[in-house]
Homo-oligomer: A and B are copies of this chain.
Amino acid sequence: MTTLLKQNISKHISLSEKEAEEFSALFRPQTIPKKGYFLKEGDVCKFEGFVNKGLFKVYLIDEKGFEQILSFPREDWWIGDIDSFINQSPSHYFIQAIEYSEILVISKEDKERLYQNIPKVERLFRIMGQKSLIALHRRMSENLRKTADRRYIDFIEKNTRLSQRLTNLQIASYLGISHEFVSKIRRKISLKK
């Protein structure tokens, strides 16, 4: 188990040495090169992963053929398509590495084994699920409630370090605005300075 995963877990549950060993034995390390895929549309999400290093984009192709980015999982995040993973059904998402990434993956069967053998892991993933749900609700409600200008400014302010790792095109796709509009907002902001 990596230090980051240990810290991630210990925020929510405490495992004995034996449990920690059992926990980490079910994960295996995987590296994904820049632009490599963790998941592609149409495939079944066979693994969930913990991001130890790197950055991903989760996106789907909309009805007009455009890439719509849903999230940017990075260090200390869990990745996967929960619908496809739980129901072992084809995914609608792509999960692609924006940077060279190192993850720890677990299969559905092994995750079930984890719940059976170490019941307090239920708590860990109950809390992780809540966090994902809150993040998705926030993204969705912000896209509906805020103007494009506001969304862009808030994103940059709240995600200073992340936004330096992204292109304008990626930020625009995540915020549901056009690339041209981002350039317009950036000009507006720099004029105000």
Contact = CB atoms under 8 A, between A and B. Distances in A.
Interface stretch (A17-25, A27-35, A140-148): A140-148
Copies, count:
2
Which one of A63, A68, A144 has the highest number of Cβ atoms from chain B below 10 Å of its Cβ?
A144
Nearest to A92: B141
A93 B141 contact: yes
Interface in A51-109: 60-63, 68, 70, 81-83, 86-87, 92-93
Contacts of A147: 63
Contacts of A6: none
A179 interface: no
A177 to B, nearest CB: 13
Nearest to A93: B141
A87 B145 CA distance: 20
Q: Is the interface of A mostly helix, strand, loop or mixed?
A: helix
Interface residues of A, number: 34
Contacts of A81: 137
A132 B130 CA distance: 9
Contacts of A141: 60, 92-93
Given A61-B145, A62-B145, A133-B136, 19 more contacts: A60-B144, A63-B145, A68-B144, A81-B137, A82-B130, A82-B133, A83-B138, A86-B130, A119-B120, A122-B122, A122-B123, A122-B126, A123-B126, A125-B126, A126-B126, A126-B129, A129-B130, A133-B133, A136-B137
22 contacts: A60-B145, A61-B145, A62-B144, A62-B145, A63-B144, A63-B145, A70-B140, A82-B130, A83-B134, A83-B137, A87-B134, A92-B141, A93-B141, A119-B119, A119-B122, A120-B122, A122-B122, A122-B123, A122-B126, A126-B126, A129-B133, A136-B137
